[in-house]
Amino acid sequence: MDLEQILQAMTPEVYQRLMTAVEIGKWPDGTALTQEQRDATMQAVMLYQSRNNQDAEHMSVEVGGEIKFKSKAELKRDFGENGPTGSVDDIARFNHSEL
């Protein structure tokens, strides 16, 4: 299977699993990624983003392969001053003694 076939077959769910694996360094079953697996998975994630990412986050690869950096103002607009819902009450807060 060549790279083009892999990218065409990759679903959003598979992309999300690969992205999570790169972020935490583990497969969904808890097995750690080797450095070679991490490198290959990161490349696959970036290639997928370069072809499918219509809504680039703070720093990611957009459609066309361009790296997108959002400004602080753009992030505030996207997430609101107090988070995605705009409500401070949506955050769970704990005292140190409660942990």
pLDDT per 10-residue tile (average), the chain, 99 residues = 82 91 92 94 87 66 70 71 53 75
Cα 10 to Cα 84: distance, rounded to the nearest angstrom: 28
- What's the confidence (pLDDT) of residue 57? 60
Is-contact 57 70, C-beta < 8 A?
A: yes
How much is the pLDDT for 86? Answer: 47
Q: For residues 85 and 91, what is the distance between their CA atoms, to the nearest angstrom?
A: 10
- Closest alpha carbon to 51 in 97, 9, 99: 9
User: What was the pLDDT predicted at 1?
Assistant: 65
Distance of alpha carbon 98 from alpha carbon 1, whole angstroms: 52
Using DSSP's 3-state secondary structure scheme, residue 94 falls into coil
